[in-house]
Amino acid sequence: MKGQRAAVSRPPRVRARSAAVGAFVALAATVPAAASAAGTQEVDAELPYVCALPSGRQPVEVHVSATFPDRVEAGEAISPAGVTTTVELPAEAVADLTALKATTVRAATRLTVGVAQNEAAAEATWHGTAEPAALPGSGPLTLTTAGDVPSVTGRSDGDLTFSAGNLAVDLELGTADGTATDPGALTLDCSPAGDAPKDGPPAIVRVGTDTAGPSGSPAPSGSSPGTPDTPDTPEDRQGDRAPEVAGNPPGAAAARDVPPCRYDDAHPPTPSSLNAYVTGYTSVKKLKGASLLPPSCMLVEQGNPVDGPPDPEHLVFDTASTGDLHHQGRKRTPPFRSTFLTFGFAPATATMVLEQTGPITIDSRIKMRWSDFRTITDTYVRAPLILRVTALEVNGTPLDIGPGCRTEKPLTSVDPDPANHPGDHLVLYGRGEQDLGLPATGYLLLSGGSLSGETTIPAFTGCDADGENLDRLLTASVSGPGNLLKQVQGQTCSIANPVFGDEFNAPQCTRDLQPYVIPVPER
């Protein structure tokens, strides 16, 4: 468990201005700081596995690490942080890969994690990806992946346990001359070794006031942790809809008020219209802080699939969709406020909005593998957004920053395809995977999920406080590259074919055609 960092004092003469700068920790991040847990626990487990390699089944060491809260309240989402999965492939596995003329390998992992509380149980999948690694001439190879982890909500008091189960390691192979290996990719199916506990050592999070652990009061009949019961009748009122537990159907967690998200006369729907809520966090590297974007409405026009580039192993389709933020008839987020205790003594509160300066594009490439009909979808969201500050308070006193305080240009990311996507914009990436007959995991436009990216915060302009221009001060304190962000999109509502929920399907739309699912932000 790690303690809180001590606050750093500053001389009184710089307090007011420092507080004003500190308030922009929130505005510079496209997402607002969540309250930290009372305590955290770091899980670091070495687990013996057996994996099916081309040359046969071999023992493989797997190392899983993550940070969990010590305790949460019932109905509060648990989002494991800092999750990494390290797989040490033995020399025999490396020899199998080099025999295919491979010189590099890119790994992705899918770890099945059991979640249990009282008498209820469920499963989640932890995804991770790694940068390409060079294959050694001999000896073992260590691959470490990190990535999105679904949040889980315990619905009653009692210990919530997490335990590691089966593991799949997807390997994409590369050669020195750029030619393809045969096969070009491998999947290693791994299971806990026979001499290890079936599901590995658990992490335990206390939920609520009940400390009796798994022997405490049982969960409600038919419920399971992280997969709450679906209400019998979808609620039509905006404030009565429950947030979605990431990766699972919406359930009976604590309801939250969110702004309306519906088409109107000024924005009439088409047969391809969808709507969804988005939320997320972003960091501000310079200030070592983070900010939260509350649920915001996105109106989407889904594109039609067209044939993608030829691929001997896959059937490929490309889909180009567009989207717009929508709040009170404008292409922007609702105003959101964030408060920071600047230098440990001066609370500063900023009110901000993200404004769209051009169309948001959503480009998806769908690849279905002929051999087993496994589908992988890579999606890039490109959004030109400026950050505007509308109000600022320091220690309860309003500070005049003028009506035009904003970034001088949109937030920017390095685009993987700059020739076809010029200009300043934010780039978010998400991957969805689906095996034939099984539910999809990761991000898909229709079902939502997590997207991530990195952005540069541009310089500020128009920030005048009582006639004193604060542009340079704010730019020096906040602007710069390397700010990580993570956005979560909820399940979309299809306006032409709404799903209100029944005994077979979870609800996707309210009766007035708003998104039923309110996503939960993830770090």
Identify the bridge partners of residue 129 per DSSP, sorted by sequence position: 108, 146
CATH code (residue 147): 2.60.40
Q: Does residue 508 form part of some domain? A: no
**Positive or negative torsion for Cα 199, 203, 207, 212:** positive
Comparing C-alpha atoms, which of 215, 196, 213 is closest to residue 205?
Answer: 213
* Span 442-462, pLDDT tens digits: 999 999 999 999 999 999 899
pLDDT band, very low/low/confident/very high, at 232 (cuts 50, 70, 90): very low
CB atoms within 10 A of CB 170: 19
63 and 165 assigned to the same domain: yes
Peptide bond into 183 cis (omega under 30): yes
Across residues 258-287, what is the average pLDDT? 86
166 and 307 assigned to the same domain: no
b/e per residue, 386-423, with b = 16+ CB within 10 A? bbbbebbbbeeeebebeeebbbebbbbbebeeeeeeee
Comparing C-alpha atoms, which of 265, 267, 235 is closest to residue 251?
Answer: 235
User: How far apart (Å, rounded) are the C-alpha atoms in residues 149 and 154?
Assistant: 16
* Span 277-299, pLDDT tens digits: 999 887 767 656 667 788 999 99
Q: Does residue 2 form part of some domain? A: no
Q: Does residue 66 form part of some domain? A: yes
User: How far apart (Å, rounded) are the C-alpha atoms in residues 282 and 134?
Assistant: 32
215, 242, 265 - which closes a domain = 215
24 and 44 assigned to the same domain: no
pLDDT band, very low/low/confident/very high, at 491 (cuts 50, 70, 90): very high
433 and 319 assigned to the same domain: yes
How high does pLDDT run on average in the chain? 76
Tell me how many degrees the CA angle 491-483-291 measures, rounded to the nearest 5: 60
173 and 246 assigned to the same domain: no
pLDDT of 244 above 60: no
Q: What are phi and psi of 380, to 5 degrees?
A: -120, 125
* Span 84-137, pLDDT tens digits: 999 999 898 888 888 888 888 888 888 888 888 877 777 778 888 888 888 998
pLDDT at 409: 94
192, 215, 238 - which closes a domain = 215
Q: Does residue 51 form part of some domain? A: yes
For residues 111 and 164, the answer to whether their CB atoms sit within 8 Å is yes
* Domain containing residue 399: 12-33+230-494
User: How far apart (Å, rounded) are the C-alpha atoms in residues 167 and 44?
Assistant: 17
Q: Does residue 510 form part of some domain? A: no
For residues 32 and 173, the answer to whether their CB atoms sit within 8 Å is no
Look at 11-15, 286-290, 341-345, 487-491 and tell me which has the smallest mean pLDDT. Answer: 11-15
pTM attached to this predicted model? 0.55
Comparing C-alpha atoms, which of 241, 239, 238 is closest to residue 230?
Answer: 241
Of residues 256 and 275, more confidence is placed in 275
Q: Does residue 261 form part of some domain? A: yes
User: How far apart (Å, rounded) are the C-alpha atoms in residues 96 and 84?
Assistant: 25
26 and 44 assigned to the same domain: no
Of residues 217 and 321, more confidence is placed in 321
Count the domains in the chain: 2
Of residues 370 and 257, more confidence is placed in 370
200 and 317 assigned to the same domain: no
453 and 367 assigned to the same domain: yes
pLDDT of 439 above 50: yes
193 and 61 assigned to the same domain: yes
User: How far apart (Å, rounded) are the C-alpha atoms in residues 230 and 27?
Assistant: 36
188 and 319 assigned to the same domain: no
266 and 121 assigned to the same domain: no
195 and 137 assigned to the same domain: yes
**DSSP letters along 207-252, please?**
ETT--SGGGSSPPPTT-BTTBPPPPSS---SGGGPPBBPTTS-B-S
For residues 298 and 327, the answer to whether their CB atoms sit within 8 Å is no
Q: Does residue 506 form part of some domain? A: no
Identify the bridge partners of residue 123 per DSSP, sorted by sequence position: 114
Q: Does residue 5 form part of some domain? A: no
pLDDT at 343: 43
User: How far apart (Å, rounded) are the C-alpha atoms in residues 344 and 352?
Assistant: 22
Residue 471 three-state SS:
helix
User: How far apart (Å, rounded) are the C-alpha atoms in residues 83 and 105?
Assistant: 21
Look at 71-80, 167-176, 404-413 and tell me which has the smallest mean pLDDT. Answer: 71-80
Bridge-based pairing of strands 464-465 and 426-434 is unpaired
pLDDT at 148: 66
182, 215, 248 - which closes a domain = 215
